[in-house]
Amino acid sequence: MSTTKLHINLHQGVLEVEGEEIFVRDIYKEFKAELLKGHVNFGPTSAPLSKNKLGADNETPKSKNENSTSKKNKGSSKSDVLKIDKNLDLSGLNNAPSLKDFVGQYQPKMNMERNVVFIEYLNEIMGLEKVSINHVWTCYSDLGLRLPVNMRQSLYDTSSLRSWVNVPSIDDLSLSVQGKNWLRDQTKKAETE
């Protein structure tokens, strides 16, 4: 399996993506669509590019094997300013389990698993209609866990690599059927142990 990288500068606005080719291609298409709508801010000039400067539709991201000179993404996007939601009480209300107790039922070992457990807790236990990246960030912080270097990428990876999370928008996260199945399987494992 080859890794695909995409690096767009747009006057140091920079969008760096690395992952499976399909995932990178999807991000590229989404970014290009937003760019054409004028929803993307450019570096210091904020002057939109004309359509012909974006390149033809047949331009695609290059695989690692191909002649790619982009640098590996080393942190969260500059546009991601994550905030802890101080209004989110994760201590357990009205006989609901606390986040700590809920996570303890599943024993997630990696961030993708934690993302699934956190989204389930926020959606089903807390009753949030829309779970955002900041809500998930708050869960990591509340439990004193090591925070993902790039939270957005962590959520996209959970979606693209495992298909556990639906990410129509970074502020509207939900579990997919595969994510719910993973949770059910973890519950069964815990019961048999």
* 17-21, 59-63, 112-116, 184-188: the lowest-pLDDT one: 59-63
**Residue 40 confidence (pLDDT):** 55
The reported pLDDT for the residue numbered 42 is 52
Query: What average pLDDT does this structure show over 100-125?
Result: 95
CATH of 99-192, picked from 1.10.357.10, 2.40.50.180, 3.40.50.150, 1.10.10.10, is 1.10.10.10
**Is residue 174's pLDDT more than 90?**
yes
Q: What is the pLDDT of residue 13?
A: 56
State how far the Cα of 49 lies from the Cα of 67, in Å rounded to an integer.
25
Give the residue from 55, 69, 90, 54 showing the smallest Cα distance to 16: 69
- Return the pLDDT at 5: 76
Lowest mean pLDDT among 61-65, 97-101, 171-175: 61-65
**Amino acid at the residue 18:** E
Q: Give pLDDT, residue 74.
A: 44
pLDDT of residue 35: 67
- How high is the pLDDT of residue 9? 63
Domain boundaries, the chain: 4-63, 99-192
DSSP state of 79: T
* Neighbouring C-alpha atoms within 13 Å toward the C-beta of 142: 24
Distance CA 116, CA 173 (A): 10
Per residue in 140-159, pLDDT (tens digit) is: 999 999 999 999 999 999 99
pLDDT at 99 over 80: yes
Closest CA to 131 of 163, 175, 162: 175
The pLDDT mean for the chain works out to 78
Q: How far apart are CA 48 and CA 33, in angstroms?
A: 13
The per-residue pLDDT for range 60-92, each reduced to its tens digit, is: 444 444 444 444 444 444 456 899 999 999 998
Q: What is the pTM of this model?
A: 0.60
Run of H or E residues at 4? strand 4-8
Q: Which residues contact 27 (CB under 8 A, 6 or more apart)?
A: 6, 15, 17, 156
